[in-house]
Structure 1
Amino acid sequence: MTPTENHFPSGFPLSRGRRNRYQQSRRTMLAEHRLSASDFIAPMFITEGAEVKEPISSMPDYHRLSLDLAVHQAASWHELGITAILLFVMVPDAKKDNEGTEALNENGLMQMAVKRIKEAVPGLTVMTDVALDPYSSYGHDGVVRDGRIVNDETVDVLARMSVSHARAGADYVAPSDMMDGRIGEIRLALEANGFPDTGILAYSAKYASGFYGPFRDALESAPGFGDKKTYQMDPANVREAVREARMDEGEGADMVMVKPGLPYLDVVRAVRESVRVPVAVYNVSGEYAMIKAAAEKGWLDEEAAMLESLLACKRAGADVIATYWAEKAVRLLRESQK
C-alpha cells in the first residue's frame, strides 16, 4: 500500500503506534514515568524489647522490630538509597489509656526511636505517625467521650504529640487521624515551640477502607468498638477528598496524602490537579498482602505486579509513595540498571 492509497482516518500505515514499542531501548527512552529510590517512603513497625524481629502473619516478609534492630534496618535502607522512613510503634496494653498519655512521653518508644535513628543515620528523613489509636485503650484515633470520638480535645493532644516528636528530631510529623482542624493547630504548635522547619505530611484523604486489616494486625490497633467512619472518609467521595486536601494545604501542610493507593488512583489525580504542595499516596498493607497471597498461589508474578502497582501510583500523580515494597523495589530497580 502506498501513502496515496491510505484512506483510513487514523493515518495507518503512516502512523504506527508499535514503532515506538518495537525495542526495549525505544520503550525505555520514551517512558513517560519512571520509578526511583527517592520516590519511596518505607514504613517501619517498632516494638519494645531487644533483638526482637517478629513476623506479621498477614504481611509476609515484613516484621515488627525492636529499637536496636530498627536502627540497623534504617541504616541499611539508607545505604540502599531509600531516603525516607515512616515510623509506627506498637504500644503494650498496660501503657494504653483514653488520654494518649504515653504518646506524650518524652522517653516513649516513638521519641526514642526518632532520637536513635537520627543519631545513627542523620541523612535519613524520619517521619512519624501522629494518631492516638496505637496508644488508645479503645483503639480509636481520638479521645472517646460517651461513646463518641471527640474532635477538639483530640486535636490538642495531637498538637502536643507533634511537638514531642519534633523535639526528638523528627523531620516530618504525619497526622493520620482525620480530625478537623488538626493541621493548623499542629503548625501553630510547632512554630510556637521553635520548630519552624519540621514538616507536616497530612493524611488529607484517608478513607474508611477495607484494605487496612494487615496493618491493624501489625500494631494490634483495631478499634475496640464501632468503626472509624465518623472521621475517616466515605469511599464513595472524590470531591470531599479535594476539599480536605485544600483545607490542609491552607492550614500549613507541606505534603498531602491519599490513602489507600490503587483503589483510589482517581482521587490521587484529582488531588494532584487541585493542590500545589507535593502529593503522597500510601500503598497500604492490604494491597501488599493481596499481591503476596496471589504470588504464593502462583497466580501473579510478584515482582511484575509490585512494580506495576507502584508505577500506577506515580502515573496517577503521586510525588512520593509510602510502601512496604520499598526495599524490594529499590533492589529490583538497581538490578535493572546494571
Structure 2
Amino acid sequence: MTEQIKKEMSAVTDNSAAAVTDDEMALINAYSRRTLTKDEVYVFGVVLCDNDIDRDNERFTVESLFELEKLFVGKTGIFDHSPTAKNQTARIFACSVESVGGRKTANGDDYFRLTARAYIPKTKGNEEIIQAIDSGILKEVSIGCAAGEVRCGICGENINHCAHIKGETYGGKLCCGELTNIYDAYEWSFVAVPAQRNAGVTKNFKGKEMKMEEILKSIYTKREINLSGDDCKKLCSYIDELKKSAADGAYYRNSLTSEVLRLSAVVQPDISRETMESVAKGMSVVQLKEFKNAFEKRADSILPSVPQLYKQKNDITADSNGNFKI
C-alpha cells in the first residue's frame, strides 16, 4: 500500500546572493532559457533531510542521503506539496551530503545531512517570497521522495516483519525505521507547520510483494503494516476462502452433532436430548466424530442391521430366501 507522510523542518540556511559563484551561475543557467546574471537570481541554502531519528521514529541512512543527493538536483520548490505550475517557486541546482563535525544522532551515530542550493528569479512577483525568506517567515520545508523499503534499525529486517517496535529501546538502542532503496524524488515544498526535528520528508513506500504468512504475522503481532493493492486483494481472497471453509465446517459440525444426538437416544436413552446437546456444544469436531463412531458400534449391538426380507435360521415356513425375490 502506498503511504505518504509529511514531515517538515526549519531548513533554510542562508540567502546570500553575494555568495553566488560563477560555477553556480553556470549550473543555474543550465535550467534557464536565457543566460541569467547574478543580479537576476536570489540564491539560498536549504537542509532537505538528515540521518537523525525523527518524531515518527524513522530516519534516512547515510547511503539513502547519497541517493537523494543525485535525485534532487533540478527539482522545483512549491508550496504545501500542491503540484500546480503556479506554485513553482524555486529550483535546486546543486546538492551535497555533508558531515557536521561533533554532532551525533539520537543513537550516537555521526550526523550527516543533505543540503541544497536553490535559486529564485528576482521578479516583481517573487518579491514577497524573497522577503518572507529573508525575514524568517518561510523557513520550514518538506521533501517528497519514494523509498523501496523501511528496515528495522535493530535487526535490519523489514520493519513490518520483525518483532521490534519503533520507539522502543533494545539494549540501550532506540528502534527506528531506516528508509532505504530510495528510487525517486518528487519535489520540495515550503510548509507552514514544522513536524520533524531536523528533517522533513513525504515518503512513499513501495516494497516487495508480501507473502500471506508475513501479512498474518504483522496482524497477529499488532504491527503497523503497509499493503500494496495486490497484497490487499490477496488478503481479501484469503478471507473469502476462510469464510467458505467456515461455512462448510459449520455445516459438517451440525450434521455430525445431529447424528450423535440420534445415536445417543438409542444407546443411552436415560440421558435427555437437552443434556446431550449441552455436552455436544463443548465438543470439538474430532470428539464428536469419536462419539459418533462409538455410538454406532453400540447401536449395532442393540439393533443389528439386517435385510428386511432376510430369512432367519429358525424360520421353517420358507425353503430359502429366494422365495422373497421380486
What is the TM-score normalised by the length of structure 2?
A: 0.21
**Structure with greater helix percent:** 1
What is the TM-score normalised by the length of structure 1?
A: 0.21
Per chain length, whose mean CA-contact separation is higher, i.e. which structure has more relative contact order (CA < 8 Å, sep 6+)?
A: 2
**Structure possessing the higher radius of gyration over alpha carbons:** 2
**Structure with greater strand percent:** 2
